[in-house]
Structure 1
Amino acid sequence: IMELNDRNLQTLTEYLQKTLSPDPAVRRPAEKFLESVEGNQNYPILLLTVLEKSQDEVIRVCAAVTFKNYIKRNWRVVEDELNKISDPDRTAIKANIVNLMLSSPEQIQKQLSDAISIIGREDFPQKWPDLLSEMVTRFQSGDFHVINGILRTAHSLFKRYRHEFKSNELWSEIKLVLDTFAQPLTELFKATIDLCQTHATDINALKVLFSSLALISKLFYSLNFQDLPEFFEDNMETWMTNFHNLLTLDNKLLQTDDEEEAGLLELLKSQICDNAALYAQKYDEEFQPYLPRFVTAIWNLLVTTGQEVKYDLLVSNAIQFLASVCERPHYKHLFEDQNVLTSICEKVIVPNMEFRSADEEAFEDNSEEYIIRDLEGSDIDTRRRAACDLVRGLCKFFEGPVTGIFSGYVNSMLTEYAKNPGVNWKHKDAAIYLVTSLASKAQTQKHGITQANELVNLSEFFVNHILVDLKSPNVNEFPVLKADAIKYVMTFRSQLPKEQLLEAVPLLVAHLQAESIVQHTYAAHALERLFTMRGANNQIQLVTHCLTQNVNC
């Protein structure tokens, strides 16, 4: 046992100080020492005492991080293994940590909030039944530093409800949370919105209040994800009316000059779009009375929001909302009018498929990130991916009209490109992306697109517009278009005739020499995909064909 005395606190402080040293000869032994004593009773309590009492802000933060990592490594009790934290320490930690977290500055508050979430995952609700009631009582404090600490902690506790499998244990936990938390959260939501109006001209107050509203909106999503709780159904009017008002709110004080970083208003509106999409998808019957006003508000948002990177999450979530609405039979009538479809295509889909300077920058300077996002499908929050999902959603009921509208756009983009390829190459990039979105109905990692829109002639587009880039004698000219062409072959490998694939193989090999990292990586990836395609007898198609026909592949 490590005694709770000044000498041990002093020793611990000195070792924490040494762990911050840039000199490995000082830092590593200190880290080793802390590891060697972390099994001792009272060690975590000493850490929390340093965190609370030290006069040195840096040491306090260091103690908070060390404590969180200690909890992360040791809190879980593994059957047949030694319990790494003594029962008295566990009890003392749970008795003090919420208070300590709420009275700490924000940097420390975040670390302790994470620690509470880790403990909560293991112990809540059975071994920590009073956690929620202890948190909820703090909503009355009126101190938004405290309130945001509670909301942040609740968010990290409840967000797992978004991906947990249904089970009786999960249902009973969510029911307990709803019984304790839903009503106070709703009251806090209403009170915070009132305060936003009271402090509409105070930028510092608004920043704190909008942080709260963003967290409250995230909690709404988590608590409503598994099923529509009776409480939220009964209070839908309150939540949806306020969400709608926030969506249409424009406070100049909350606008940021930063072009990259999303501001509080954008983050809040992005989450509200997600919440509306959740209800439109899962609870369409109950949500029906509110839907038209959300469609209008989100539509207005899309046509008035700029192309800056800071709006990317907002725009992609807003488009995803429209995508989730347009493929539900319930809402089909909202999109039947040809003018509505044309307007969506013209004002939402086409502008968000454009290759922007930020994309060009990523293509050239951050190729690894670009490839992961574009090729490996982690582009979930990009405008292009959302616009592509919206095209697919619209094609579910309106394939003919949508294909007709887009064919016009594709032709005009290709005409613009042909007039001056050097200046207008982005028009062709958008046209290829549009054709890909339009043609793709179902796909798998193994086979690429397995079901295509029959109204799009993929083979003809390949001959007229893709082959020319693959055959270009200068592999380093227009690298984005070359990468697009390679990706087209890879995406539609199951749909294009074998002759066209065979024609593409030597051309793809030539692109392995390209200077652009994206381009030569795509070429290698495409060749690997083509050479592992299997035919009817599970034979590797292209390789077999090359060997039997003596084709020079």
Structure 2
Amino acid sequence: MCHRCALAMMRMRVCWSICARRSARTFACTPRNTTEEFKPFMEQFVTAVWELLVKTSLQTKYDALVSHALQFLSVVAERQHYQSIFENPEILAQICDKVVIPNLDIRPSDEEIFEDSPEEYIRRDIEGSDIDTRRRAACDLVKTLSINFEQKIFGIFGQYLEILLTKYKENPTANWRSKDTAIYLVTSWASRGGTQKHGITQTSELVPLPEFCAQQIIPELERPNINEIPVLKAAAIKYVMVFRSILGPQVLANCLPQLIRHLPAESPVVHSYAACSVEKILTMRDASNAIVFGPQVLGPHATQLISGLFATLSLPGSGENEYVMKAIMRSFSVLQSASMPFMGVALPQLTEILTQVAKNPSRPHFNHYLFETLALSIKIVCQADASAVSSFEEALFPVFQGILQQDIVEFMPYVFQMLSVLLEVREGSGSIPEPYWALFPCLLSPALWDRTGNVTPLIRLISAFIKQGSAQIQALGKLSAILGIFQKMIASKANDHEGFYLLQNLLSYYPAAEIQTNLRQIFGLLFQRLSLSKTPKYISGIIVFFSFYVIKYSGGQLAQLIDEIQPGMFGMLLDRVFITDMGKVLKEQDRKMVAVGVTKLLTETPEMLLPQHGAFWPRLLHSLIDLFERPPEKLKGLEIGESAGVAEDPDAGYQVAFAQLTHAQPNQPDHLAEITDARQFLATSLSKFAQSRAGELPTLLSPLEPEYKQVLQKYCDQAGVRIA
């Protein structure tokens, strides 16, 4: 073992000149995998690595070596077994002076990336792709030392911080790098933990972050020239962004105008950071989940903010800046109706941007936020004036038609969502305009449905047509094509829930006479899938659908139709599906649908009292009470959209995925809004049943276990009814 340790030490002294990455991995892994064996030699290892770091130049070819060497020191320092090595204040001071500060400093190569490859700089700096950089490793070492040796390191870091800031004050133009290092030192020194959503949320109590912000950060942001020393501007903006949860609303309110002022900055990094910071600040919520910076706070800055964001999109290199577009979306979301004065200017620009990016979709995040912004704009404007939908249609339809005609697959799921939003806004305002009907036959094309990303938005769009234009669909003779889509969906483990959704819309809004003639075939397909490929998600879907059918028509019609397909099948459905698997229904609204449907089976369906079905009555009630009293069963493959781990077409290759637009979420109407409590509905329905069929209910209830009878009595007491 000693021989191996000696060899390891020798490698750490010389192999950096041969293979930096290989030796660096050795450094990083050694203390994690061993403890007692290496403990006698660890101080020598640390010394060797330390000496190596001091001797290694700042050339980029040594970055991997230095990064992993710094990681090695971090790993050793955080292990209790080896912390005695670092307890000497002199050693800590030398580590700070010789190792930390030199590697925290921004180098000429970093400045080149800042100027020539701003996207790469941003990815490294705020998106976390800097895992192998010197600066990131040095920051991690600072954090480790400040956590494990907080009292001892406070004075040391404090001295170096003062030195750096004093040097900057002596000549800000020449020594701006010192302040940049100081900001990174404070950020690493103070940070204890956080999240991507909230930034840093846990900090050292010894570091006065708001005071540092007031004395060192805000003055940088207040400098008149927003293009002066852009690296330092970016560092200052990042400080506000990272510590937004710590600084407090008042400090952020003071920073907000300065961040907005930097949106037109020439540096892509600076204006991207400014937009990103504004967006993240606008997402902040207080303890009551209310938005911290609502329209009343943001309103006075709205003109400068919106104009600044759109102006930034015209700057070189930022025509498709995702941070800026996300900030536009967030600003509209916060302002809501207060954004209306800007829509007249914003919407033509958004439409033009969409026209341009559709020619070559290359920035998926930017494109997503662009569609989010458009969907949000429609929502805001049409809530105030529903007739404004025609203006959106006039502006967007030519672009959407071009996307569909040119088969721009990346945008098609978004276009279908947007068309659904526009069509849903029109609900109740009259017939569907002709341009929609011109698109309708294309929406039924099998080729569109072969792309997985199209399925969910297309189902929603077709359902909107059914809801508002079923008579015209009937006149066009397109029901068979829609039923073909239903058949395709219901056969798919991934999309069977979409088939049920489409079928419910057909039963709800399509002319009943024609749909009734197809029900036997439809039910046959449902039972065929049930027998051939029974998954938990499908079972849940079929229970919900049949419950919906009972509510829409009647339990008697359901029993008759099913038994026409095969005698005795209704009893099998009750026995093998409803009674055994009712608890697998997860969604609250679906569970309510099932509860009401089953209640109607029990109390309004004479077929349930026939000899062949009588034994199922108490068992079905038993399962219904379980549905009320037990939490939903968490079963694999039950969530919407899951395919139970089965790849349906392994040869399909890459396909564009569906991304739901947050601001284009479909409305989920409660078809049973009049029933506020399904338990009380059961109690009142049983009471009516007892009155209409005197003497039968006690016999039906007799097989119930005593505890279930007690629960049922509780429901009756709460509803104020009697069943006996």
TM-score range relative to shorter protein: 0.5 to 0.7
| Whole-angstrom distance in 2 between the partners of 1:296 and 1:45 | 63
Superposed counterparts of 1:507-526, under 5 Å = 525=584
Closer/same/farther in 2, CA of residues 25 and 42 from structure 1, 3 Å limit: closer
Closer/same/farther in 2, CA of residues 226 and 216 from structure 1, 3 Å limit: same
Give the TM-score normalised by structure 1: 0.59
Is 1:136 matched with 2:260? yes
Name the structure 2 match of 1:159.
283
Structure 1's unaligned 5+ residue stretches are 1-9, 78-82, 196-204, 360-381, 418-424, 443-448, 513-521
Closer/same/farther in 2, CA of residues 117 and 282 from structure 1, 3 Å limit: farther
Alignment match of 1:466 (pick from 526, 532, 544): 526
Task: Please tell me whether the aligned partners of residues 302 and 315 of structure 1 are also in contact (alpha carbons under 8 angstroms).
Answer: yes
Give the TM-score normalised by structure 2: 0.47
Closer/same/farther in 2, CA of residues 412 and 399 from structure 1, 3 Å limit: closer
- Quote how far apart the aligned CAs of 1:88 are: 3.9
- Quote how far apart the aligned CAs of 1:327 are: 2.2
Name the structure 2 match of 1:492.
545
- Quote how far apart the aligned CAs of 1:467 are: 1.3
Counting matched residue pairs gives: 443
Task: Please tell me whether the aligned partners of residues 120 and 128 of structure 1 are also in contact (alpha carbons under 8 angstroms).
Answer: yes
Name the structure 2 match of 1:503.
572
| Whole-angstrom distance in 2 between the partners of 1:325 and 1:412 | 26
CA offset digits 1:22-77 (Å, max 9, x no partner): 99666545776542345858969979979x969xx9xx999967765546699769
Is 1:175 matched with 2:285? no
Name the structure 2 match of 1:291.
392
- Quote how far apart the aligned CAs of 1:229 are: 4.9
Task: Please tell me whether the aligned partners of residues 279 and 287 of structure 1 are also in contact (alpha carbons under 8 angstroms).
Answer: no
Closer/same/farther in 2, CA of residues 263 and 154 from structure 1, 3 Å limit: closer
Name the structure 1 match of 2:147.
35
Closer/same/farther in 2, CA of residues 126 and 19 from structure 1, 3 Å limit: same
| Secondary structure class of the residue paired with 1:494 | helix
Task: Please tell me whether the aligned partners of residues 470 and 508 of structure 1 are also in contact (alpha carbons under 8 angstroms).
Answer: no
Task: Please tell me whether the aligned partners of residues 489 and 498 of structure 2 are also in contact (alpha carbons under 8 angstroms).
Answer: no
CA offset digits 1:526-553 (Å, max 9, x no partner): 69999x95443898727569x9999xxx
Name the structure 1 match of 2:272.
148
Equivalent position amino acid for 2:313 in 1: T
Name the structure 1 match of 2:656.
none
Name the structure 1 match of 2:310.
189
Task: Please tell me whether the aligned partners of residues 320 and 386 of structure 1 are also in contact (alpha carbons under 8 angstroms).
Answer: yes
CA offset digits 1:455-503 (Å, max 9, x no partner): 455963553212123223xx5xxx9xx7885464144141354676753
Task: Please tell me whether the aligned partners of residues 144 and 209 of structure 1 are also in contact (alpha carbons under 8 angstroms).
Answer: no
Q: Which has the larger radius of gyration?
A: 2
Task: Please tell me whether the aligned partners of residues 221 and 275 of structure 1 are also in contact (alpha carbons under 8 angstroms).
Answer: yes
- Quote how far apart the aligned CAs of 1:119 are: 3.7
Name the structure 1 match of 2:212.
92
Task: Please tell me whether the aligned partners of residues 326 and 332 of structure 1 are also in contact (alpha carbons under 8 angstroms).
Answer: no
Task: Please tell me whether the aligned partners of residues 371 and 414 of structure 2 are also in contact (alpha carbons under 8 angstroms).
Answer: yes
- Quote how far apart the aligned CAs of 1:409 are: 0.7
Task: Please tell me whether the aligned partners of residues 45 and 89 of structure 1 are also in contact (alpha carbons under 8 angstroms).
Answer: no
CA offset digits 1:217-248 (Å, max 9, x no partner): 33333223355455x43333221111121122
| Whole-angstrom distance in 2 between the partners of 1:216 and 1:331 | 36
Superposed counterparts of 1:67-106, under 5 Å = 69-70=192-193, 85-86=205-206, 88-97=208-217
Is 1:262 matched with 2:374? no
Name the structure 2 match of 1:439.
503
Task: Please tell me whether the aligned partners of residues 113 and 153 of structure 1 are also in contact (alpha carbons under 8 angstroms).
Answer: yes
- Quote how far apart the aligned CAs of 1:210 are: 1.3
CA offset digits 1:93-125 (Å, max 9, x no partner): 45445759997879x96x986763464345454
- Quote how far apart the aligned CAs of 1:151 are: 0.5
Equivalent position amino acid for 2:422 in 1: V
Closer/same/farther in 2, CA of residues 66 and 209 from structure 1, 3 Å limit: farther
Name the structure 1 match of 2:46.
none
| Whole-angstrom distance in 1 between the partners of 2:623 and 2:376 | 51
Name the structure 1 match of 2:327.
219
Name the structure 1 match of 2:340.
233
Name the structure 2 match of 1:318.
415
Name the structure 2 match of 1:371.
none
Name the structure 2 match of 1:398.
469
| Whole-angstrom distance in 1 between the partners of 2:478 and 2:342 | 42
| Whole-angstrom distance in 2 between the partners of 1:74 and 1:219 | 17
Alignment match of 1:20 (pick from 67, 71, 79): 71
| Whole-angstrom distance in 1 between the partners of 2:473 and 2:150 | 64
- Quote how far apart the aligned CAs of 1:406 are: 4.9
| Secondary structure class of the residue paired with 1:440 | helix
| Whole-angstrom distance in 1 between the partners of 2:344 and 2:499 | 41
| Whole-angstrom distance in 1 between the partners of 2:237 and 2:575 | 56
Task: Please tell me whether the aligned partners of residues 280 and 324 of structure 1 are also in contact (alpha carbons under 8 angstroms).
Answer: no
| Whole-angstrom distance in 2 between the partners of 1:70 and 1:47 | 22
Equivalent position amino acid for 2:542 in 1: V
Superposed counterparts of 1:367-406, under 5 Å = 383-402=454-473, 406=478
